[in-house]
Amino acid sequence: MKNKGNGGVFVDAKRTVIYPGEIDFGSGFSGLPGESERPEESNAAANGKAARDEYFAASYGLRELYLDVIKQIHPDHASNEADRALREQLTKEANAAFERGDDETLRRALEEYTRQAPHL
């Protein structure tokens, strides 16, 4: 940042005007991001990181299942309007199931498509 000489107003490299009252110099604690001055907060942050890492490790299989299901039922592969309507509905269900972490519903969406597709 450099001082523009306008009553203590600063302008950063992106030409953003920063007023002195907006500058926060913090509490003086210079730990790593996610660390806290208070041990109980550090433990909570560490527990949150462990839970997040566990979620990502557990969700890898779900992500692979989701991609497989979407690859097979995506509406862009429809052969006619009835097929497209079915694929669109099942894709919506698969997207919602993925966001909930519901692998059973993802499998059912694929089974539903394979059961109904031959009749379209």
Give the chain's length: 120
Q: Locate 46 and state its tokens.
A: 């560490």
Considering the domain boundaries, does residue 58 fall inside one?
yes
Q: For 31-64, how does the pLDDT look when each residue is reduced to its tens digit (9 = 90+)?
A: 444 444 555 444 545 555 555 555 555 578 899 9
Q: For 76-93, how does the pLDDT look when each residue is reduced to its tens digit (9 = 90+)?
A: 999 999 999 999 999 999
| Tally of domains within the chain | 1
Q: Are 109 and 69 in contact (CB under 8 A)?
A: yes
Considering the domain boundaries, does residue 65 fall inside one?
yes
Considering the domain boundaries, does residue 98 fall inside one?
yes
Q: Locate 102 and state its tokens.
A: 């519901």
Considering the domain boundaries, does residue 23 fall inside one?
no
Q: Which domain holds residue 83?
A: 31-119
The pLDDT-based confidence of 1 (bands split at 50, 70, 90) is very low
Considering the domain boundaries, does residue 18 fall inside one?
no
Q: Locate 69 and state its tokens.
A: 């299901």
Contacts for 49 with CB less than 8 Å, ≥ 6 apart: 34
Q: Looking at residue 8, what DSSP letter applies?
A: T
Considering the domain boundaries, does residue 8 fall inside one?
no
Cα gap 68→54, rounded to integer Å:
22
Considering the domain boundaries, does residue 107 fall inside one?
yes
Considering the domain boundaries, does residue 46 fall inside one?
yes
